[in-house]
Structure 1
Amino acid sequence: MIIAASAPLTVVAGGVTTSFAVTGSLGVPLGFLLIAVILTLFAVGYTAMGRFITNAGAFYAYVAQGLGRPLGVGGSLVALVSYNAMQVGIYGLFGFQISVFLEAKLGFASPWWVWVFLCIIVVAVLGVNRVDLSAKVLGVLVALEFIAVILFDIVSFTASPEGVSAAALNPNALFGPALGLILVFGVAAFMGFESGAIYGEEAKDPKRTVPRATYLAVAIIGLFYAFSAWAFSVGIGPSQIVQASQEAGPDLMFVFMTEQTSVIIADIMTILFITSLFAALQAFHNAVARYLYSLGREGVMPHAFSHTSKSGAPWAGSVAQTIIAIIIVAGFALTGDAFGAADAMFGELSFLYPVLTMFTWLTNTGAAGLVLLMALTAFAVIGFFRKRPGGLSAWTTVVAPFVAGVLLAGMFVMILGNFPLMLGQEEPDATTFVLPGMIIAAFVIGLAWAYVLRVKKPHLYSQIGHGTEPGAYGTELIGVVGVEETGAP
Structure 2
Amino acid sequence: MEVEKTRLKGALGVTPIVMMVIATAAPLTVMVANTPLMVSSGNGVAAPVDALIATVIMFLFTVGFVAMSKYITNAGAFYAFIQKGLGRSVGLGSAMLAVVSYAMILIALQGFIGYATADTVNGLLHIDVPWWVYSFVAVGAIAYLGYRDIELSSKFLGIALCLEIAVVILVDIAVLWEKGPTGMEAGTFELANIVSGSPGLGILFAIFSFIGFESTVIYREEARDPDRTIPRATYIAVLLVGAFYVVSMWCAVSAIGQDNIASFAEAHGADMYLAVSEYYFGAIFMDVMHVLLITSLFACALSLHNIVVRYKYTLGRFGVLSERFSNVHAEHGSPHISSATLSAFSMVAFVILIAIGADPATQIYAWGAMAGTLGYMVILSLTCAAVVVFFQREKVTGQKWKTLVAPIGGLLGILGCLWVAVSNLPDLIGGDSARTVSILVVMFLFSTFAFGFWIAERYRARYPVRYEALRQLA
TM-score normalised per structure 1:
0.89
Quote how far apart the aligned CAs of 1:302 are: 1.5
Quote how far apart the aligned CAs of 1:406 are: 2.6
Quote how far apart the aligned CAs of 1:258 are: 2.9
> How far apart, CA to CA, are the structure 1 residues paired with 2:128 and 2:64?
50
Which residues of 2 match residues 114-263 of structure 1 at below 5 A? 114-158=133-177, 163-176=183-196, 178-263=198-283
Q: Give 2:101's aligned amino acid.
A: S
Deviations 1:173-221 (A, max 9, x none): 2234512111222211111122211111110111111111111111111
Question: Would you say 1:316 and 2:337 are equivalent positions?
Answer: yes
Quote how far apart the aligned CAs of 1:303 are: 1.3
Tell me the SS of whatever aligns to 2:148: coil
Q: How many correspondences in the alignment?
A: 453
Q: Does the C-alpha gap of structure 1 residues 264 and 166 become closer, same or farther in structure 2, counting only changes over 3 Å?
A: same
Q: Does the 8 Å CA contact 2:157/2:299 hold for their aligned counterparts? A: yes
Quote how far apart the aligned CAs of 1:368 are: 1.0
Question: Would you say 1:50 and 2:39 are equivalent positions?
Answer: no
Match of 2:472 among 457, 461, 466: 466
> How far apart, CA to CA, are the structure 1 residues paired with 2:45 and 2:212?
25
Q: 2:450 matched to which residue of 1?
A: 444
Q: Does the 8 Å CA contact 2:41/2:197 hold for their aligned counterparts? A: no
Q: Give 1:393's aligned amino acid.
A: Q
Q: Does the 8 Å CA contact 1:29/1:227 hold for their aligned counterparts? A: yes
- Return 18-27 or 102-111, whichever deviates more: 18-27
> How far apart, CA to CA, are the structure 1 residues paired with 2:269 and 2:351?
27
Quote how far apart the aligned CAs of 1:285 are: 0.1
Percent identical pairs in the alignment equals 33
Q: Does the C-alpha gap of structure 1 residues 379 and 452 become closer, same or farther in structure 2, counting only changes over 3 Å?
A: same
Quote how far apart the aligned CAs of 1:323 are: 1.7
Q: Give 1:30's aligned amino acid.
A: V
Q: 1:335 matched to which residue of 2?
A: 356
Q: Give 1:372's aligned amino acid.
A: V
Question: Would you say 1:400 and 2:406 are equivalent positions?
Answer: yes
Q: Does the 8 Å CA contact 1:75/1:443 hold for their aligned counterparts? A: yes
Question: How much is the aligned-residue C-alpha RMSD, in angstroms?
Answer: 1.9
Unaligned runs of 5+ in 1: 342-352, 469-489
> How far apart, CA to CA, are the structure 2 residues paired with 1:431 and 1:274?
28
> How far apart, CA to CA, are the structure 2 residues paired with 1:157 and 1:385?
45
Quote how far apart the aligned CAs of 1:159 are: 5.2
> How far apart, CA to CA, are the structure 2 residues paired with 1:200 and 1:391?
26
> How far apart, CA to CA, are the structure 2 residues paired with 1:371 and 1:302?
27
Q: 2:17 matched to which residue of 1?
A: none
Tell me the SS of whatever aligns to 1:55: coil
Q: 1:277 matched to which residue of 2?
A: 297
Deviations 1:358-410 (A, max 9, x none): 11111111111111101101111122223433465122112221222232123
> How far apart, CA to CA, are the structure 1 residues paired with 2:267 and 2:353?
27
Q: Does the 8 Å CA contact 2:171/2:280 hold for their aligned counterparts? A: no
Q: Give 1:215's aligned amino acid.
A: Y
- Return 383-392 or 118-127, whichever deviates more: 383-392
Q: Does the C-alpha gap of structure 1 residues 330 and 246 become closer, same or farther in structure 2, counting only changes over 3 Å?
A: farther
> How far apart, CA to CA, are the structure 1 residues paired with 2:346 and 2:266?
31
Quote how far apart the aligned CAs of 1:327 are: 1.9
Q: Does the 8 Å CA contact 1:61/1:465 hold for their aligned counterparts? A: no
Q: 2:307 matched to which residue of 1?
A: 287
Deviations 1:401-441 (A, max 9, x none): 12222321232122111111211347733211112322211
Quote how far apart the aligned CAs of 1:243 are: 3.1
Quote how far apart the aligned CAs of 1:237 are: 2.2
Question: Would you say 1:60 and 2:88 are equivalent positions?
Answer: no
> How far apart, CA to CA, are the structure 2 residues paired with 1:467 and 1:167?
49
> How far apart, CA to CA, are the structure 2 residues paired with 1:386 and 1:157?
47
- Return 97-106 or 282-291, whichever deviates more: 97-106
Which residues of 2 match residues 402-421 of structure 1 at below 5 A? 402-421=408-427
Unaligned runs of 5+ in 2: 1-19
TM-score normalised per structure 2:
0.91
Q: Does the 8 Å CA contact 2:43/2:193 hold for their aligned counterparts? A: no
> How far apart, CA to CA, are the structure 2 residues paired with 1:131 and 1:465?
27
> How far apart, CA to CA, are the structure 1 residues paired with 2:107 and 2:163?
24
Q: 1:98 matched to which residue of 2?
A: 117
Structure 1: which 4+ aligned runs deviate by more than 6 Å? none
Quote how far apart the aligned CAs of 1:248 are: 2.3
Quote how far apart the aligned CAs of 1:230 are: 1.0
Q: Does the 8 Å CA contact 1:21/1:243 hold for their aligned counterparts? A: no
Q: Does the C-alpha gap of structure 1 residues 328 and 136 become closer, same or farther in structure 2, counting only changes over 3 Å?
A: same
Q: Does the 8 Å CA contact 2:34/2:206 hold for their aligned counterparts? A: yes
Tell me the SS of whatever aligns to 1:89: helix
Question: Would you say 1:77 and 2:77 are equivalent positions?
Answer: no
Q: Does the C-alpha gap of structure 1 residues 78 and 125 become closer, same or farther in structure 2, counting only changes over 3 Å?
A: same
